[in-house]
Amino acid sequence: MKTGTPTAPSSRHVPSWLAGRMARLGRVVVEALVLEYSRDEVLRRLANPFWFQALGCVMGWIGIPRASRPACWVRSNGSGPVQWSWVCMSAGTRSPFAPHPGGTARAGERVSVDAPALVRASRLVAKVDSAAVQDGFALYLHGFVVTDDGKWTVVQQGMNPDRRQARRYHWLWERAGSFVDAPHTAIEGIPQGSIVNFTDRQAAAARAATVALANGSPEAVVVEVERAERLVLPDHHDVREKDVDLRRLLAALTVAAERGPADFPELLLTPGIGGRTLFALSLVAEVVYGAPSRFSDPARFSFAHGGKDGHHSRSASHLR
């Protein structure tokens, strides 16, 4: 997927005059949906990438512009049928990406639902798409929409700086389940082939193996990583320090062993456990337990509407 519209390199944000119009239009559209259908239907539609893309077209901008986030940004601080919803946005380029929990927590407190559970869901969704699904796209935008009864949807976006392409990850509360077993409603993007994907249904053994390794001896895991590196090399001939930092790996595993995560979601939420640590654990899991973690990219389709590379092509979509 290449989201956005073709823009000059110096003006890739939504102009303020357009952002205001888009926000007002988006609110009216959502109010109509709530009145005609229900608030749950609004969440389900936001989790549908085809509808979400169409909404962006109607509002005048493709994707989730960082300046206004119009396709998600339906504020709820006034009266009317959308006052039940809260939109918590977070944007940044730091890695690993993490949503700011303050807005989610405040939303939970305002509507008297389980705020810690909402914060956990927000963090876990971001961690899954930044570490458990290693597709080459770094998250930079996270939109968490929650209703006053605790139902939610998430739309977040990642960027591949080398390809200058973006992809979107769509989540819905009723589909998320354990957060790690095929939890997405859809991933919108061009498939990258075989990737490390702990959310694949075939990856249950790999998830269990990584949790077992994280609860074991950190030193033993580092030894196995050194052995595994001789068997599974990256896409360049020399093994570079950035591929697996053994000192950092040892420190992260020591913290994990002290916390003793009970399952894969808790492992993902352990401080210091990111994509590289999970990649190292996946190597050991495959060598020791025969549990593979590389599966086909779960991205299913893309929209050719032009994008951040400044090129524009005819509107199209395709299914794998």
pLDDT tens digits, 271-318: 989 998 898 888 888 888 889 998 999 998 766 444 444 443 333 333
319 confidence band (pLDDT: 50, 70, 90): very low
Between CA 229 and CA 247 the distance in angstroms is: 15
153 and 282 belong to one structural domain = no
The pLDDT of 200-217, averaged and rounded, is: 93
**Residue among 52, 51, 49, 70 nearest 61 (CA):** 70
Query: What does 13-69 look like in DSSP terms, one character per residue?
Result: S--HHHHHHHHHHHHHHHHHHHHHS-HHHHHHHHT-HHHHHHHHHHHT-SS--TTT-
Between CA 289 and CA 68 the distance in angstroms is: 47
Asked if pLDDT for residue 230 goes beyond 80, the answer is no
219 and 251 belong to one structural domain = yes
Between CA 80 and CA 66 the distance in angstroms is: 26
Q: What is the structure's pLDDT at 103? A: 56
Alpha helix positions (H), 133-194: 173-176
Least confident interval from 44-53, 65-74, 104-113, 274-283: 65-74
**Residue among 66, 49, 50 nearest 4 (CA):** 66
Between CA 205 and CA 180 the distance in angstroms is: 12
147 and 30 belong to one structural domain = yes
- Burial classification of residue 61, based on how many CB atoms lie within 10 Å of its CB (0-12 exposed, 13-18 middle, 19 or more buried): buried
Asked if pLDDT for residue 227 goes beyond 60, the answer is yes
Q: What is the structure's pLDDT at 52? A: 87
Q: What is the structure's pLDDT at 242? A: 59
Residue type, 276: R
Between CA 285 and CA 138 the distance in angstroms is: 24
174 confidence band (pLDDT: 50, 70, 90): very high
Q: What is the structure's pLDDT at 107? A: 57
Element (H, E) at 317: strand 317-319
**Residue among 229, 184, 200, 181 nearest 294 (CA):** 200
Between CA 165 and CA 138 the distance in angstroms is: 11
Q: Please check whether residue 32 lies inside any domain of the structure.
A: yes
Q: Please check whether residue 54 lies inside any domain of the structure.
A: yes
Q: Please check whether residue 45 lies inside any domain of the structure.
A: yes
Q: Please check whether residue 242 lies inside any domain of the structure.
A: yes
Residue 269: domain span = 201-296
165 and 307 belong to one structural domain = yes
267 confidence band (pLDDT: 50, 70, 90): very high
The pLDDT of 92-103, averaged and rounded, is: 49
Task: Share the mean pLDDT of the chain.
Answer: 76
Q: What is the structure's pLDDT at 84? A: 52
183 and 313 belong to one structural domain = yes
54 and 154 belong to one structural domain = yes
Least confident interval from 53-57, 135-139, 167-171: 53-57
128 confidence band (pLDDT: 50, 70, 90): very high
How many domains does the chain fold into? Answer: 2
pTM (predicted TM-score): 0.78
| Residue 23 in tokens | 């926000």
The pLDDT of 217-226, averaged and rounded, is: 83
Q: Please check whether residue 2 lies inside any domain of the structure.
A: no
